[in-house]
Chain A
Amino acid sequence: MTEPTATREHQTGDRQAFAALVDRHYQSVYRLAYHYAGNHQDAGDICQQTFLIALERIDNLRDRERFEGWVLVIASNLLRRRIRHAVLGRRWLHKGGRDIGQEADRAGTTAFCDDAGRNERAQAVRAALQRMPEKMRLAAILVLMEERPQKDVARILNCSPATICRCVEAARDFLRADLRKFID
């Protein structure tokens, strides 16, 4: 079933069609959420919430070709909101310099990354992404990691392709400086 067909069929009341859409996109939504939020717990929550919102609002989606971009817009909006809330909450709660969620997540990451070098690179990339400004981080994930066309990413992030191009270049320089030891 193609994406526009699945979207149309769901809009006409076919519940299985939405399951097909979830099957097709939940991994990319999860990866985006994980690299943006920096932990698995938030990523899982955001992924679930994204599809719940998509289920509620799919009737408003007019361009069925753009389901994937639309879902990523939902996810990125949720992520921005969640991170802002988390930052505010952390400022209030967290004074010891150690984030319990991040610590637990590091343990989780180690569990499924069997290769030590790969695990180190993954942690370095995650740490570098977390230090980036929001828009640059999203652009880096969507363009550099997911290899989406900059034009599509500009539409998802609601900005011009030139802005995305600048963000991607800046992100690349940032990552190159941060991950120098792995490049060398």
Chain B
Amino acid sequence: MARPNDNHDKHDKHGDINEILQEVYANTQPPGSWSALRERIGAAVSDRGGQGHFERRQVVFWRRTALAMAACLMVSIGLLLCWEAPRRSGDSPDAVGATNGLALLTQAQTDRLVQAFAQVRGLFSDQQPWLMIDSAGASQMGLTLPQEPGHREEGLVVLRLAVEETGREDGRRYADLVVFPSQEVVCTLQTAAGSTLELRLVPVLGQDGRVDIDFVARLDGQTREGRVTQVGQNAFSSFAQLRLGANSFSLGATARPIPPSGARIEL
């Protein structure tokens, strides 16, 4: 049971506590003086607001805008580089000659070769010419007899060969080979490392206009042979892997048939 004086005592004690706290509160002051603290705050405020905090906020706004724009620009450039790099690195067969300035055949040259090759074949009693130009500017030509005497196939096939040496940035070599369909060609190709790759190729034109290639590839005593079917026109079809020491060579090709009329085709 509470005593009548309990509440009164409690208030007295509250009063004592409050009195102590308020006395402590009232006597609280900075170690220097109030005016020193006021000056410190005033100096900080005028320093921050000296140029006018409205102008400062505008500066902050424009700075953030500039940073955001710079970030967008960086991302755009990054995306552009990611998109452009594969094209420039020669993954696209169409871009190899034109973009990289390599000595490969142009469209106009190929058109003229159709007529020239037909005339050469007539001049040399059915012996069929072939021509290869590689990206280093070297060229090879030859004449071969048809595999089936008396059998003549019209039109031409342009093979674009790619030899890639893994582990080397400049490891790609290209060559354009112009041959008649079903004509056997034996040629050599220099790799970026200076090795000589010997190739025996026979492009076979299918009914659907697609080209298969019978091949034998030799490098330093190693031989790979086989047939790669339906060689791509717009992307390199890989057909052989060879090793020489620690280096690995990958062979790829595109094949485009040219009709006898010499009509323009995309190269």
Contacts and interface: CB of A to CB of B under 8 A. Distances in A.
Contact of A26 (B14, B41, B52): B41
Interface string A113-125: 1000010011001
A118 B38 contact: no
Interface in A1-27: 13, 15, 18-19, 22-23, 26-27
B111 to A, nearest CB: 73
A44 interface: yes
Contacts, number: 92
A56 B58 CA distance: 12
Interface in B132-162: none
Contacts of B40: 44, 48
B49 interface: yes
A55 B53 contact: yes
A31 B52 CA distance: 29
A51 interface: yes
A175 interface: yes
Interface bin, chain A: 35 or more
A43 interface: yes
Contact of A145 (B13, B24, B30, B41): B24
A172 B53 contact: no
Nearest to A105: B31
Contacts of B49: 15, 18, 55
Contacts of A13: 54
B13 A183 contact: yes
Contacts of B21: 125, 140, 144-145, 175
Nearest to B25: A145
Contact of A121 (B24, B29, B31, B41): B24
A125 B44 contact: no
Contacts of B20: 121, 125, 179, 182-183
Contacts of B48: 52, 55-56
Interface string B16-59: 11101111110111110010011011101100110011100100
B45 A52 contact: yes
Nearest to B36: A44
Given A15-B49, A108-B31, A121-B20, 5 more contacts: A44-B40, A47-B37, A52-B44, A55-B48, A144-B18
Interface of B: 13-14, 16-18, 20-25, 27-31, 34, 37-38, 40-42, 44-45, 48-49, 52-54, 57
List the 10 shortest-distance A-B pairs measured between CB atoms, nearest first. Answer: A145-B25, A108-B31, A183-B16, A125-B24, A145-B21, A122-B24, A31-B28, A144-B21, A48-B44, A40-B31
